A and B are shown apart, each in its own frame.
Chain A
Amino acid sequence: MRPQSEEELSGIVAEASGPLHVRGGGTRGIGRPVTGDVVETGGLSGITLYEPGALTLVAGAGTPLAEIEATLAAEGQRLAFEPMDHRGLLGTTGEPTLGGMAAANVSGPRRVVAGACRDFMLGVRFVDGTGAVVKNGGRVMKNVTGYDLVKLMAGSWGTLGVLTELSLKVLPVPETQGTLILKGLTDEAAVAAMARALGSPFEVTGAAHLPAAGETCLRLEGFADSVTYRLERLAALFPGTDMHRETEAEPVAACWRAIRDVAAFHDAPGDVWQLSVKPSDAPGLVARMGAEDVVYDWGGGLIRARLAPGTDLRARLGAFGGHATLVRGDAATRAALPVFQPETAPVAALSRGLRARFDPKGILNPGLMA
């Protein structure tokens, strides 16, 4: 089913008695496998408002992300949280949509400084599990009117409601960017170097470590003179380290696109796990993982790990602070292992309670986040 309006979608959900498999472009097939009638949001497409001077954009949830990004680029603006494109990593095809991005709370390397997708979401409209149309937030930058259901919808994977419209805060594209690449650091040294860089006043907007390539990448953005100045100041923090300064636009962009999309794992086999942890814990966790390969982003706060199919990563790690999510794995593995980090009993009770209220029939992507 591919409703062409919010009203039509509302009718479909209200009348449904069995499970619905809700999706945007279907490019981010993460979570426990869902069976049910497919409901695609692609028909709810189009930018309804864009005010560059107010840094605000409103569009239908089914609007292709590519269309959003092109429209913003024409005005010298962008989605500052740098949403990842999952197609390469997951081997999916199709068009990523705005709603899919929001439902998965997808961010990229800049998240560590600029904030996540959820931090740039100003307002939502959605259809809940009873078919009721609900709006929350709005299209202004600051809004504390009532509860923040916008955050709740971000990353809820269509299990609480089907997004129909989103308003977003956008930001200007800086004049230029550059990367300082430190070479040959151990994981411990790299995480320490990234902490040093992110703790400096030089406004690092990306900090990633690629052990296989032996590279630790630190990104700077801004006006050209400023980037040049900060690149030197940043380099001076790491005396005696082998390093390279990349300031050509295309290689810098390609480097961060590859980090964003975890290009290192695209053609490599195995399951992919994503861990959100305290950055300084990251090297120790990686040492316990037995991974084929890892990529550190967010200064170490985000680990992508490639492991043999079917590996129960959580069993290998034991208790740790943070979350591990199985991002890529076959259906059997995703059915056998909890895809999302199991919640503590009181938190699980709250999540269950919210689902029961938002989707009393239990029909919206049932089990996806279980």
Chain B
Amino acid sequence: MQMPDPDAAILSRKDAIVERLQEILPPQAVISDPAETRAYECDALTAYKCAPLAAVLPATTEEVAAVLKLCHAEGVPVVPRGAGTSLAGGSLPTADSIILGVSRMTEVLETDYDNRLIRLQTGRTNLSVTGAVEEDGFFYAPDPSSQLACAISGNIAMNSGGAHCLKYGVTTNNLLGVTMVLMDGTVVELGGAHLDAGGLDLLGLVCGSEGQLGVVTEATLRILPKPEGARPVLMGFASSEVAGACVSDIIKAGVLPVAIEFMDRPCIRACESFAKAGYPDCEALLIVEVEGSDAEIDHQLGLIKDIARSHDPVELREAQDADEAGRIWLGRKSAFGAMGQINDYMCLDGTIPVSELPYVLRRTAELAQQYGLEVANVFHAGDGNMHPLILFDANKEGDLEKCEALGADILRLCVEVGGCLTGEHGVGIEKRDLMGDQYAAADLECQMAVKDVFDPAWLLNPAKVFPLAVSEARRGQRLAAE
């Protein structure tokens, strides 16, 4: 993965730039010692590392605005960072950039149950949003696997999803408003406590723009009343094709589960030895969860189990109590961690039409065999969001490159069948060079035109999302101007 060469002129001005940052921020908020900036050299895509020029940790919107205004004037690129859990390299710095972290901005500013919203600073973690309102019977719906650690700022930047978005939608569907600072330091308010308004939907445009349009410092999120209850059922099948057909039948039948999760054998085995969830040893496993009162759950699970039975399941087990339900989910939610214990892996995130599930699984296995690598599958089956995990050995010469090549082939396969490169992780640097496989030149030009409007000098997270060759002229204008 290539990153642009750092601007030597900026590197040579490091001391002066740090000094000016120290003038506008409290002393502890500016990190420039190379021993300390190393903590910001990568996110969860650990294969790529580069320490930034400096890192700053402002505590308020005003401080963020001051930093951006300064960097804008100095022509220094800025890479925004939430909790650094991006799997796509969304917050990977370059040596000439400033990391702008929001980790000190974690305040809840307002909870309003009558209007079902919470307003907060975006450094707050995803899970702690629910933590702030659950005693009063509410929750925040998007639940990425990294929810214990990941920040709302990153969720907004990547438009994160999670296991339960089949029913509740992803971040953009649960985001009511933001306070955002543009690269030149201008503070804008988009949306608010109200739903859709007239005017262009800039809020919808900002969500998922990967920190390239502005730095979101505060957010108003929709919170929802907790359901009376929820219960998962576990189903094992003799083949992935059968499991895929079962998913489609459940959806067609008019039952709308909150989640339908899929795991294949390599993943089931890893999760089982890690979490002891009592998973059966079979080719494909589905976890289907429904919500409501006990009687409603019984009714819906009855319908779902009838559908499952028509596909000859090798296992069909309903959680009998909260403890068992917890263990069923623990297995799924710890899938990435469990795989990480036995192997290095790269996690893909393509989405496909649900009807293409069996074909894509078969073709993925064939591709893996061609490359001589193993792939484990765990994903949100209800919405077709795949997470193939490619297992490789980081210490083995050439294995990472081979893994990336296989990953690219699998993602191209997703696009070929009518899907996309990324369902919830974002493009970052990881899928950047594949954008041309999904979008034509005019499509990318139109997206880049949006960045031109928000960040004309292309200083915010500039080397992400768009293939470097495609964005080169725009990124180059800064250097040309110097």
Q: Which of B169, B207, B450 contacts A354 (CB 8 A)?
A: B450
Contact of A111 with B196 in the complex, beta carbons under 8 Å: yes
Q: Which of A119, A200, A225, A323 contacts B194 (CB 8 A)?
A: A323
Contact of A369 with B199 in the complex, beta carbons under 8 Å: yes
Q: Which of B161, B173, B227, B300 contacts A115 (CB 8 A)?
A: B173
A334 part of interface (Cβ distance < 8 Å): no
Contact of B114 with A195 in the complex, beta carbons under 8 Å: yes
* Complex interface: chain A residues within 8 A of B421 (CB): 145
Contact of B190 with A347 in the complex, beta carbons under 8 Å: yes
Could you tell me the distance between the alpha carbons of A53 and B426 in the complex, rounded to whole angstroms?
26
Of B98-106, B122-130, B364-372, B441-449, the stretch lying at the interface with chain A is B441-449
Of B45-53, B310-318, B346-354, the stretch lying at the interface with chain A is B346-354
Of B16-24, B261-269, B378-386, the stretch lying at the interface with chain A is B378-386
Contact of B423 with A323 in the complex, beta carbons under 8 Å: no
Could you tell me the distance between the alpha carbons of A241 and B367 in the complex, rounded to whole angstroms?
65
On whether A134 and B442 interact (CB within 8 A), knowing A107-B196, A140-B419, A341-B198, the answer reads yes
* Complex interface: chain A residues within 8 A of B343 (CB): none
Of A82-90, A256-264, A277-285, A286-294, the stretch lying at the interface with chain B is A277-285
Could you tell me the distance between the alpha carbons of A366 and B191 in the complex, rounded to whole angstroms?
24
B427 part of interface (Cβ distance < 8 Å): yes
Interface residues of A in 96-149 (CB under 8 A from B): 105, 107, 111-112, 115-116, 118-119, 128, 132-136, 138-149
Could you tell me the distance between the alpha carbons of A140 and B354 in the complex, rounded to whole angstroms?
8
**Distance between B126 CB and nearest chain A CB, rounded to angstroms:** 16
Could you tell me the distance between the alpha carbons of A341 and B300 in the complex, rounded to whole angstroms?
45
Number of A-B contacts (CB under 8 A): 274
On whether A116 and B195 interact (CB within 8 A), knowing A134-B442, A142-B165, A195-B115, the answer reads yes
Could you tell me the distance between the alpha carbons of A147 and B208 in the complex, rounded to whole angstroms?
6
**Distance between B373 CB and nearest chain A CB, rounded to angstroms:** 24
A17 part of interface (Cβ distance < 8 Å): no
On whether A343 and B114 interact (CB within 8 A), knowing A119-B173, A142-B423, the answer reads no
In the complex, per-residue mask of A188-227: 1 if CB is within 8 Å of any chain B CB, else 0: 0000100100111101000000000000000000110110
* Complex interface: chain A residues within 8 A of B445 (CB): 132
Contact of B425 with A144 in the complex, beta carbons under 8 Å: yes
Interface residues of B in 305-355 (CB under 8 A from A): 351-355
* Complex interface: chain A residues within 8 A of B453 (CB): 350, 353-354, 356-357
* Complex interface: chain B residues within 8 A of A141 (CB): 166, 351, 382-385, 423
B97 part of interface (Cβ distance < 8 Å): no
B251 part of interface (Cβ distance < 8 Å): yes
* Complex interface: chain A residues within 8 A of B170 (CB): 142, 144
Contact of A152 with B205 in the complex, beta carbons under 8 Å: yes
**Distance between A129 CB and nearest chain B CB, rounded to angstroms:** 11
Q: Which of A138, A154, A339 has the most CB of B within 10 A?
A: A138
Contact of B197 with A140 in the complex, beta carbons under 8 Å: no
Contact of A346 with B419 in the complex, beta carbons under 8 Å: no
* Complex interface: chain A residues within 8 A of B161 (CB): 142
B273 part of interface (Cβ distance < 8 Å): no
On whether A140 and B202 interact (CB within 8 A), knowing A145-B427, A347-B188, the answer reads no
A302 part of interface (Cβ distance < 8 Å): yes
* Complex interface: chain B residues within 8 A of A139 (CB): 353, 418
Q: Which of B114, B249, B385, B440 contacts A199 (CB 8 A)?
A: B114
* Complex interface: chain B residues within 8 A of A56 (CB): 353
On whether A344 and B188 interact (CB within 8 A), knowing A54-B353, A301-B195, the answer reads yes
Could you tell me the distance between the alpha carbons of A340 and B198 in the complex, rounded to whole angstroms?
6
Of B56-64, B231-239, B288-296, B474-482, the stretch lying at the interface with chain A is B288-296
In the complex, per-residue mask of A333-370: 1 if CB is within 8 Å of any chain B CB, else 0: 00000011101101100110110111000000000010
Of B279-287, B396-404, B431-439, the stretch lying at the interface with chain A is B431-439
* Complex interface: chain A residues within 8 A of B254 (CB): 76, 172-175
In the complex, per-residue mask of B395-423: 1 if CB is within 8 Å of any chain A CB, else 0: 00000000000000000000000111111
Q: Which of B116, B204, B253, B353 has the most CB of A within 10 A?
A: B204
Residue of A nearest to B300 (CB): A223
**Distance between A190 CB and nearest chain B CB, rounded to angstroms:** 13
On whether A155 and B200 interact (CB within 8 A), knowing A53-B355, A200-B225, the answer reads yes
Contact of A226 with B299 in the complex, beta carbons under 8 Å: yes
Contact of A354 with B200 in the complex, beta carbons under 8 Å: yes
Contact of A53 with B115 in the complex, beta carbons under 8 Å: no
Contact of A149 with B205 in the complex, beta carbons under 8 Å: yes
**Distance between A356 CB and nearest chain B CB, rounded to angstroms:** 8
Residue of A nearest to B168 (CB): A115
A71 part of interface (Cβ distance < 8 Å): no
On whether A151 and B194 interact (CB within 8 A), knowing A146-B435, A146-B465, A343-B199, the answer reads no
* Complex interface: chain B residues within 8 A of A149 (CB): 205, 446-447, 450
**Distance between A225 CB and nearest chain B CB, rounded to angstroms:** 6
A325 part of interface (Cβ distance < 8 Å): yes
Contact of B446 with A132 in the complex, beta carbons under 8 Å: yes
Contact of A199 with B113 in the complex, beta carbons under 8 Å: yes
B454 part of interface (Cβ distance < 8 Å): yes
Contact of A144 with B450 in the complex, beta carbons under 8 Å: no
The 5 sampled A-B contact pairs (Cβ below 8 Å) are A53-B354, A118-B201, A138-B438, A322-B193, A346-B186
Listed from nearest, the 8 A-B pairs whose CB atoms lie closest are A151-B204, A323-B197, A142-B423, A141-B383, A353-B453, A172-B254, A278-B193, A53-B248
Q: Which residues of B contact A (CB under 8 A)?
A: 112-116, 137-138, 158-159, 161, 165-166, 169-170, 172-173, 182, 186-190, 192-205, 207-209, 225-228, 248-249, 251-256, 292-293, 295-296, 299-300, 351-355, 380, 382-385, 418-427, 431, 435, 438-440, 442-447, 449-454, 465
Given contacts A146-B439, A148-B208, 7 further A-B contacts (CB under 8 A): A141-B384, A142-B423, A148-B172, A151-B204, A277-B194, A280-B114, A302-B195
